[in-house]
Every structure is written in structure tokens, then in C-alpha cells.
Structure 1
Amino acid sequence: MQLNAVGKGKIVKDTVAGATTGRSISIQGVTKVYGHGSAQEFEALKPVSMEIKPGEFVSIVGPSGCGKSTLMLMVAGLLPRSSGLIEIGDRAVTTAFTDVGIAFQDHLLLDFRTALDNVLLQADIRHIDKDLLRTRAVDLFRQLHLEKATDKYPRQMSGGMRQRVSLIRTIVHEPPVLMLDEPFGALDALTRLQVRSDLESLWLRNKPTVLFITHSVEEAVGLSDRIFVMSPSPGEIIEEITVDLPRPRPISLTGSPDFGKYADHIYALFEKMGVLHGIAPVAHGSGAQSAPARSAQ
């Protein structure tokens, strides 16, 4: 297990083994200030720097309002940054980056289209051959055991099914970069476990670069190659953690002592920052996780 502290503005380079279709992401001294120069000026994000290798699965975890979603939107080119430089591959991000798959907490499926037709929207938007995309989509529906859902409308599907359809729509065009903002936030605990496992399986197909935004320490540890921990607002990176766990990872990791060490370490960081109080340790190797007493600041 590697736990690597990152000083303010320090860039950590790492290596990802294996074939990948992903692209590198370079974030250099990026900040966000709203209402700059006005009486209502608000610093949302202190200078953030990180290097993400092609094919890495990187999570950013932090308390609500720390700026992690703001950072993702700036990386996607959907929100202007106040300072700094962002590059994806060899291209500086100055406008919306289109060669990407983005998913949010809300599945955003169209009620009047079937599950398959929602996925095939990518063909119309991106001018991709519809037969090719249909073949990919059907294969993905099969992989996620959703064959019987292709002709269902969103109202006819469970929350977990809708979110998995959303993930298929996000990756069906095989983008080199995925940006995921709390995609499991609206799901119940058991469904979150299954969809988390499904996401890892989908990612392993082509190894796109993933920037994953989450409040969940367990999801970050369960999915990531590296985790960046952010402070409360105005957010900044306080630590980078390399997760050395084998893949594919089991649907439940709570029986793993190493998993518990990673989770305990991150919770201890939040306790030190005053984000959480009264944290009980994870039960190592017991096959179940203890229920820590937590209260957000």
C-alpha cells in the first residue's frame, strides 16, 4: 500500500500498465473564483495541480461544496477557470471538450425513448454510424444483464437499471475520457455496489481515462488507481493516495484488511480537517464493515 502526501501545487506522475485507449489529463495551478473583484467575490477552488496518465481511474473525494464538481466541469471545458492550464492529450482545454463521456447523479434519460433509443442518441449527436453503435449497445446491454430492458421506457425500469443504461450511453461511443459526477448518488446501498462493480467491468474493456467525483470513500477505494483527497471550501488537494488492490475487485471489499486501511486513512484525514467527528475504525478482515459514527461538520 502506498500513501503519498502531495504538497500544494506538487505534481505526482505515475504509470499505468496495459493497453489503453485513454488520454492523459494535465491540470496545472487551476483555480476558480466567482465574482472576481466584486463585493461578492468567492474563492471556490485554490490552485490545484495533478497529472493523470492515459487509462488511469482517478477519484476526487471531499466534503460537499469543496469544489470537486467545479474542477470536473472546468476539465470538461464546461466552466471557465479563473487561472491555470488544463490539457487533455496534447490539446489545451479552452472550450467544451467533446470527445468525452459524462454522467451525473441524475440519469437524464428521455422519458419518451426506450432504453436502447436513449443510448442511440449518441449516433445522432455525434454523427456515428447507427448500425455500429447499435451493435456496441446491444453488447453492453448483454454484459450488464439488461437484455430485457432494451425496449423498456425509463418509467418501467428500476433506479439501478436506469443508471446502468446511463452508463452504457456514456461509454457506447468509446470515448477516451470519462467524467463521472456522483453517478451512484441516487441509488440504494445494494444497487450502488452492483453498479460500482458494473462500472469497473465496463472501464476494463478499453481503459479510458476516468475522472470520478464522489463523496463516498468506499466507492473511491473500490474503483480507483489513485485518489485525490480535497479539503473543505475553498478546496485544495491535501493528499494523493495510490490504491494497490488487485483487479477486478470483488463486489464487496469490506473483508479486505488493505481496503480497511485505505478507508480508515481517508476518514482520519476528514476527521483531522473537522469534516467528520467520532469515527470508528473499519473492521479489518471480518467480512463486514463496522458502522462508524459520523457527523458532518
Structure 2
Amino acid sequence: MIQDTTKPAATPSTPLSGAGDTRIGASIRAAGITKVYGQGGADPFLALGPIDLDIKPGEFVSLIGPSGCGKSTTLLLASGLEPASEGTIEVDGKPLTKPISEVGIVFQDHLLLDFRTAMQNVMLQQEIRGLDAKEFRSRAEVLFERLGIKGSEDKYPRQLSGGMRQRVSIARALVHNPSMLLMDEPFGALDAITRTQIRHDLEMLWLETRKTVLFITHSIEEAVGLSDRVLVMSQSPGQIVEEIRIDLPRPRPAHLGEYPEFAKYAERIYKIFAKLGVYKF
């Protein structure tokens, strides 16, 4: 078993703003979007919607809901990787009609290439986009420091723990300085201790860069611990049944139980799921 040698994220010594990080987060607006799979066939399946989204620039918003409710589908629609069956999506006020390049995506599986080192995996963005290698390398080095994986640049994925691999995946998603970060259960495969540390490090990085984040999770603690707002979804076909604004000071502690308000937010979400029939106690 590979030991996790990840260190807590460093206190900023070289700010990301000094490595080309001047782009503010993008707004995401969706009106009446639905997704039907097999549309036009004999057995179409309504997977999502209709739902509306209004995510402000630099906002951290989580979608939480039962399995199969359309959370990941919503993320794919917001990135332009999947077309909506109905409704409209705008990013920074412009209609979304194709996949966009100013986005970073992190999935539950790190999707690193086994034959490339950690740094080479991150620099893949530069190679594909044909952009300045020196600037990308500088930014990548700062991200490795900020994400607590400095010193792992020349290691291969098989030499890294699960948490370290996922941190490399986050660095790869951010190295091209996107205006929005889409994360689909990025900590789902990690142990509880690693999840807590990486959640904290992600929050600190977000506080510095203020990218717009759409975060998909099954974890109520993650949703409340990271978000400005939590959007609660129903079973399939998923719809947003409630919006909860999270008013807790930042940065938030590793142990959210220190705040009585956290328990109230968590209980509110549990009650919504119980009302929907997701939980049967």
C-alpha cells in the first residue's frame, strides 16, 4: 500500500496571481433545461429536469441528491459536453452551444496517464492547447506547492497515493487558468482523513483564485463545508427542490461540528431527503 505523503497546502509564498491567474470566475445560467436520453426512439428516458441555475461569478455551489438523479448530467450540460434536450444555458452571458475550453473538470477517477509523471500529466494541458510551456510550468509548480504535493512532480501515478493522484488531477484542471471548475464527486474514492484535508486545501485554493465552482457530491458534510449555496435535488428525473445558503465563516474548520449552525444545515438536508423518500427510517 502506498503511503500518503501529502502535506497540508502551503501558506501562499508565490501567489497564483503572479503566475497568470487574473481571470475571474464565469457566471452560469440555465433556464428550463432537461435531458432526455434516447429522444426520438421507442423508449426515451427523462433523466433530468426541468431545472434552472443561476451561479454568480466566483461562487461555490454544490449539487447534492440521491444516486441517479442527474447531478453528473447537469455538470456535463454546464460544460457543453452534452447538449440539453430543452432549455438554454449561458456562460458569462453567452449561449452555450458547444464544449467550452475555459473549464477545468475533475472526476471521481483521477484519469491520470500511467506512463506520464505527475508533472507531465499536468503539462498535458499545455501540449494539447499549444500554449507557452514556460508559463504553464511556472503555474504548475505553484499549484503543486499549493496542493501539498511539491516533490512529487517526477513520480508516476503508481507511486502516488489516491489522495495525491487526485491532487494532481486538480492541478491539471486548474493549470490553464479556467474561469470555472466542475467537480464530479472528486473525493468519493478517498478515505475520511484524506477527504478532510483535501477539502480544506481546495477551499483555501478557491479563496485565493475565486474560480466559479459547481461541485457534485453525495456527502452532506462536503456540501455544507465547502459551499456558498447547496442545491438539493430530487430523485430521477432530478429537479432542484430547495436552495440552502450556507452562512458560515471562512475558512471553515476541519471539524464542522464546532459550529452549531452546521448541524442545523445538515438536519435540514436530511429532512428534505426523508420527505422525498430517499431515507426511510
How does the TM-score come out when normalised to structure 2?
0.90
Question: Does structure 1 residue 226 correspond to structure 2 residue 229?
Answer: yes
Unaligned runs of 5+ in 1: 1-18, 279-297
> Take 1:20 and 1:269, find their aligned partners in 2: how far apart are those partners?
37
The Cα offsets for residues 50-101 of structure 1, whole Å up to 9 and x where unpaired, read as 2110000000000000011111101111111110000000211111111100
Deviation, 1:37, is: 4.1
> Take 1:261 and 1:198, find their aligned partners in 2: how far apart are those partners?
24
> Take 1:91 and 1:263, find their aligned partners in 2: how far apart are those partners?
35
> Take 1:211 and 1:142, find their aligned partners in 2: how far apart are those partners?
24
Question: Does structure 1 residue 108 correspond to structure 2 residue 111?
Answer: yes
Question: Does structure 1 residue 263 correspond to structure 2 residue 266?
Answer: yes
Q: What is aligned with 2:244?
A: 241
Letter in 2 for 1:205: E
> Residue 23 of structure 2 contacts residue 178 of structure 2 at CA under 8 Å; is this kept in 1?
no
Deviation, 1:202, is: 1.5
More helix by share: 2
User: Superposed, which structure 2 residues align to 1:88-167 within 5 Å?
Assistant: 88-167=91-170
Secondary structure, aligned partner of 2:235: coil
> Take 2:144 and 2:39, find their aligned partners in 1: how far apart are those partners?
47
> Take 1:142 and 1:153, find their aligned partners in 2: how far apart are those partners?
17
Higher relative contact order (CA 8 A, sep 6+): 2
> Take 2:208 and 2:109, find their aligned partners in 1: how far apart are those partners?
24
| Structure 1 residues 271 and 223, CA gap change in structure 2 (3 angstroms) | same
Question: Does structure 1 residue 184 correspond to structure 2 residue 187?
Answer: yes
Given candidates 219, 237, 260, the residue that maps to 1:216 is 219
Deviation, 1:20, is: 7.3
Letter in 2 for 1:51: D
Deviation, 1:36, is: 2.5
Question: Does structure 1 residue 63 correspond to structure 2 residue 66?
Answer: yes
> Take 2:255 and 2:129, find their aligned partners in 1: how far apart are those partners?
37
Given candidates 152, 168, 173, the residue that maps to 1:170 is 173
Identity of aligned pairs, percent? Answer: 59
CA RMSD of aligned residues (A): 1.3
> Take 1:205 and 1:173, find their aligned partners in 2: how far apart are those partners?
16
> Take 1:45 and 1:225, find their aligned partners in 2: how far apart are those partners?
23
> Take 1:60 and 1:158, find their aligned partners in 2: how far apart are those partners?
27
> Residue 85 of structure 1 contacts residue 92 of structure 1 at CA under 8 Å; is this kept in 2?
yes
Q: What is aligned with 2:12?
A: none
Deviation, 1:255, is: 2.4
Secondary structure, aligned partner of 1:58: strand
Q: What is aligned with 2:84?
A: 81
> Residue 61 of structure 1 contacts residue 229 of structure 1 at CA under 8 Å; is this kept in 2?
yes
Unaligned runs of 5+ in 2: 1-21
Secondary structure, aligned partner of 2:173: helix
Secondary structure, aligned partner of 2:258: coil
> Residue 23 of structure 2 contacts residue 177 of structure 2 at CA under 8 Å; is this kept in 1?
no
> Residue 29 of structure 2 contacts residue 53 of structure 2 at CA under 8 Å; is this kept in 1?
yes
Q: What is aligned with 2:200?
A: 197
> Residue 106 of structure 2 contacts residue 183 of structure 2 at CA under 8 Å; is this kept in 1?
yes
> Take 1:196 and 1:137, find their aligned partners in 2: how far apart are those partners?
20
Q: What is aligned with 1:54?
A: 57
